[in-house]
Amino acid sequence: MPDNFIKPSLRTRGFAIMIALIIGTVLLILAVSLYSFVGHQHSGMQTIVNGEVAHFLAEAGINSSIGAVRASIARSFAGDGGKRLSELLLKPGVFADVCINDMLDPTWNKDLETFAREVDKEASIRVDVWLRDFEFAETDVSVWADPVARQGFLVIEATGGFKNSKRKIAIKRRVSVASILPGVLAKFTAFVSDAARRNEDSFNLIRNDYRGMITDGPRPLMFYNHATPDAPFEAGNMADIIKDEKLADVWQRRGWIWLGGRRVRLNLCSGAGDLGEIFHFYDVSNPNVFSPVKFVTPATELPPAFSAPVRIPWDKSNESIRQVSYSFGHSFVIDGFHDRSSRLETDAMYEGNILSAGEKNHYSSKSSILHLYGDARRGYQSRTRIFGQVYAAFIRFANLEVKPEETDVAAMFTAANPPPLYLLRSIPEKAYNNSVDILEVGRRSVGGPLLKSGMLCKTYSEYAQLMSRVVEYPYIEAYNSMQDVYDARPGRTFPSSAGLFKADSSSQVELQRGSHVFFQGRPSAESVVQLISGRVQFEIDSVGEFWEKYLNQQGELELNSIVRIRNPRGIDMQIPPVGKAQPLVVKGGGAIVLENGNMVLRGIRCSSPDQALTLVLRGSGSVSFASTQPNHVNLIAPEAELAYGSKFEIFGTLCVGSVYADHRFQGGTVRYRTGQDPTTPGYDKFYRVFIDPQDSYWNE
Amino acid sequence: MKTSERRVTGFTLTEILVVCAVSATFLATAIMLFTNFRQGYSRSENVAVLMQESALFLARLRTDLNNAVLSGPSADFLRQIQAAPDQLSFNVYSSRHGRIQPVVYNYAALPDGGRLSRREANEGERVLIKDHVASLTWQVQLERFATPGSGTFRIGLAIDLQLKASLGKEKPFAIKTTIFPARLNRQLNSR
Amino acid sequence: MNRSHRTGLSLIEIVLSMGILSLIMLPVFMTFSSGNINIQVTESEFRAHTAALELMEQIISLPFKLIKAGEYDSGQIIEGRSFAGSPVIFRVSDNPDLKPALKIEEIKRENKVVFKKITVTIAYPSARASDRMRDFTLKTLVANEDI
């Protein structure tokens, strides 16, 4: 019996173990399922956690890319390191969506990889940077059609990966490319909306005396419309300038002048340098010696008394009464400046008042009226086109040519020093009679005739033809026609008013370069203000905040964008601001639109030829200058008045509503910056790319 | 004749007693562990389910708030996120539709456990948590710090959520946190 | 004719089967008890993760200038306490078991700060009343927009 116990059968033995195994397996399965459930819970949580880590990795990708893009753009515009991005953005023409990963700084991706690896070796960040949805921003030819101005989006897509979770964040920011130059006004040296200030004839009114010193009235405002040899940028070469002046259409390459509003008179004057041009009726082969060109009236236009010698008592009649035979001719000089005598400025230079009282009244002259525009010096004669209802008036000094026919008298005559001069003064009709004396200028007795008006002219109308008077060009197109004289063009005669007038073709302007037309139509300063306002990329509340944001550590202006200052309290803007050194150095150019308030300029200097600063003042404030430092600026203030202050110098474009012209106005010069001419490739230097500092859209 | 060859099949008393004792011990231990396990299992499962639901809800809300944008007149920017006891609403940018649209979270408090659902624009309402919400409060927290300049704002959404299982008397699963939408805050402060 | 066998378990069988069973049951029992702990760990992790997100998000919601560099430990990261002496205050949801830590580093290039690297670390107990602390870390970069 014990044997049975000790040796159970194989089947019996295996049976128990099998039961044990089965139970164990069942329980094991239960445990495993519990474990996996918990594990599943755990991994479910882990996925969420991993997702959040991935989210922050993607955030890091976005944040680092924004900085890299801005740095790349700044670098490619500054010229160092890969110009591809700037070339891409400034290329005229249609702009397709493009991925710009390879145009960014190569270390950008490495920064991200380093960061990702630092988080975890299973972490990854992948970023794609795109420029998308670009459209042309300025296409209206009647306002300004710019081939490069465009707006679109910078899109950054960052994918963060951590373990098995991926999160993708995409952000979009606005990008705009715009020119900082003032549209069609970039072709003008000066654009004055109402030059006559509601008063005809009051533009640039100067009074001066014999020595050329200004005695009364405002100081002159002068315009240089080309690159003069002393320009701070793009200085002209003297030989090229002289060569250019011979071209009839040199004005196409110059800055233009617009004098709008009522009819405005530009009166020519003589004088070099500060006082204005020697206009075209002077011989200027030696600009420092003024010798007028004398125009001789042809005999056929003279009254019959001039056709043959006349016997008239001479002026030495108190010595001996004698009748001398004189032959007469007539000539005139056209002059804008006179009164070189030491007399009081109320006396005319020439005896007897060349201008009649009526004329003096009409032209509000004391001794002379000088309307200055231009500089007589070689290389500085800035011939260009004037738009507007501009006419010129100047004084015609009529001279009676007296030639004694008898040799001894002739000898006496020529011996007189200075040479005898018989001016035919201007006399109004009601003061005229046949016995008006025609005297020698110095009232000398030099052997000349004792003349009365009736001896030469039978009627007043004959006398009026010959006498001195103010002559007007009813319409002029050219500013500084100096070169006409320089060329010594033959056959120049006194122009007749009938032939002069050219109908103004409503001042239509067309600007184009190559095949692209920038502008067509009538220039309007208001639409330029709208154009620049449309380009505004950033708005700031006050002038103080503007300086805080855009002045760098050295007190230089780093703008590189187009900014509007809302200025609700109408505070004046001083440039540079009070307390900062003059002049303000512009290291990064741009455009500023100031709403309300006035502007006071105290000196602005662009640090390089690639920089420019455009100031736009909206509202009817004033613009003035508080320093004689030069200002490299384009000043666009079509409703503002150019007020009196110190004598100023602008290198750029000046656009104002009107010029304040009384004796306190110190005058100044405006020099056109030929580098800003849109019809030249230099205009392309003045685009700026702006990336909005805020996200416009984002999505995860 | 063959009496010595007869086997007796059967168990002795000792054997039975021993087997009973061993199996009783075994079974008792097993049952005890099983009961514990079952209780623990259901408790863990409930907690795990509640935790997962709350995690998913918070992740969903966080993603939505990350996409939240400022829209409308700038005077209203400080009230971009509207929180009432039963509704939370704000605007997000949806890249799928390419526009800004509203997102609304609705909370219906019910005696046996409330319901939390979400609706985007005009799409259908999707239930996120069903019958498990013991209580939910959400509150927009607007902070203003007196930093130099015009000060700094920070908007956050403070959430206090308590979930409990449908049956059982266990403690509810509670989570309290504040979500700060970073992009929205950045836009707010750069106005 | 054959011997009729007695069915029954020998001692060896019992011992063997008990051995096998206990070997199989050992991990199962351990799973039973550890299952709970796993759930607890997951819950702690979840709370730590939520607290980390809360801290991280409130910092990156600030303007770049206000994110002051430095290291801040759980003694400074308290609800209502000033952040780095600035007017900004911390917002911390009540969670006494968690120990937050914040580190903000500046990354400079050519002497200008281009990024700030923000690291949030939350130390949490691995089980409800355990002494062992585990770490959860979140990191990100914030860019300087003022360049």
Instruction: Flag whether pLDDT at B64 surpasses 50.
Output: yes
Chosen for mutation from B50, B69, B150 (greatest number of chain A CBs closer than 10 Å) is B69
β-bridge mates for residue A618, sequence order: A595
Min mean pLDDT across A439-443, A514-518, B128-132, C36-40 is at C36-40
Name A588's Cβ contacts closer than 8 Å, sequence gap at least 6.
A557, A558, A559, A560, A611
CA neighbor of A310 nearest in space, from A457, A130, A508:
A457
Give per-residue pLDDT as tens, A448-500. 888 888 888 888 888 888 887 766 666 666 665 544 444 444 433 333 434 33
Distance CA A409, CA A407 (A): 5
Quick one: pLDDT band at residue C11, thresholds 50, 70, 90? confident
Distance CA C101, CA A375 (A): 75
Give per-residue pLDDT as tens, B66-104. 888 887 776 677 778 888 999 999 988 887 777 888 999
CA A285, A287, A289, A292 dihedral sign is positive
Which strand (E) or helix (H) includes residue A54? helix A10-78
Burial track B46-72 (b if 16+ CB lie within 10 A, e otherwise): bbbebbbbbbebbbbbbebbbbbbbee
- Cβ pair A12:C56 closer than 8 A: no
How large is the average pLDDT for residues A624-631? 93
pLDDT at site A476: 67
pLDDT at site A111: 76
At residue A684, the 3 state secondary structure works out as helix
Chains touching A, CB cut-off 8 Å, 3+ pairs? B, C
Quick one: pLDDT band at residue A571, thresholds 50, 70, 90? very high
Beta carbons of B116 and B105 less than 8 angstroms apart: yes
Min mean pLDDT across A174-178, A187-191, A218-222 is at A218-222
- Cβ pair A8:C138 closer than 8 A: no
pLDDT at site C115: 82
Distance CA C117, CA C140 (A): 6
CB < 8 Å to C45, chain A: 45, 49
Give per-residue pLDDT as tens, C115-147. 889 999 999 887 666 678 888 888 888 887 765
Beta carbons of C105 and C83 less than 8 angstroms apart: no
Question: Which segment, A99-113, A684-698, B39-53, B146-160, is predicted with the most confidence on average?
Answer: B146-160
What value does the mean pLDDT of chain A take? 76
Distance CA A641, CA A492 (A): 40
A345 vs A22, A215, A266, A339, B110, CA distance in Å?
Answer: 134, 8, 22, 8, 103
Record the tokens describing residue A453, joined without a space: 């008006």
Instruction: Flag whether pLDDT at A346 surpasses 60.
Output: no
Min mean pLDDT across A189-193, A363-367, A518-522 is at A363-367
Quick one: pLDDT band at residue A637, thresholds 50, 70, 90? very high
Q: Does C62 touch chain B (CB under 8 A)?
A: yes
DSSP state letters, C36-95? HHHHHHHHHHHHHHHHHHHHHHHHHTS-GGGS--EEE-TTT--TT-BSTTSS-B------
Record the tokens describing residue C8, joined without a space: 């029954």
Beta carbons of B63 and B137 less than 8 angstroms apart: no
- Cβ pair C18:A28 closer than 8 A: no
Radius of gyration from C-alpha coordinates of chain B: 30
How large is the average pLDDT for residues A603-632? 93
Distance CA A560, CA A693 (A): 13
Quick one: pLDDT band at residue A626, thresholds 50, 70, 90? very high
Task: Count Cβ–Cβ pairs < 8 Å, chain B vs chain C.
Answer: 103
What's the first-to-final CA gap in chain B, in angstroms? 117
Nearest to B48 among A41, A48, A699 (CB): A41
Quick one: pLDDT band at residue A339, thresholds 50, 70, 90? very low
Burial track A551-584 (b if 16+ CB lie within 10 A, e otherwise): beeeebbbbbbbbbbebeeeeebbbbeeebebbb
**What ipTM describes this predicted complex?**
0.77
Instruction: Flag whether pLDDT at A388 surpasses 70.
Output: yes
pLDDT at site A352: 37
Residue that wins the pLDDT comparison between B132 and A614? A614
Q: Kindly report the number of other CB atoms within 10 A of residue A26's CB atom.
A: 12
Q: Kindly report the number of other CB atoms within 10 A of residue A535's CB atom.
A: 25
Min mean pLDDT across B65-74, B116-125, C24-33 is at C24-33
* % residues pLDDT > 70 (chain A): 73
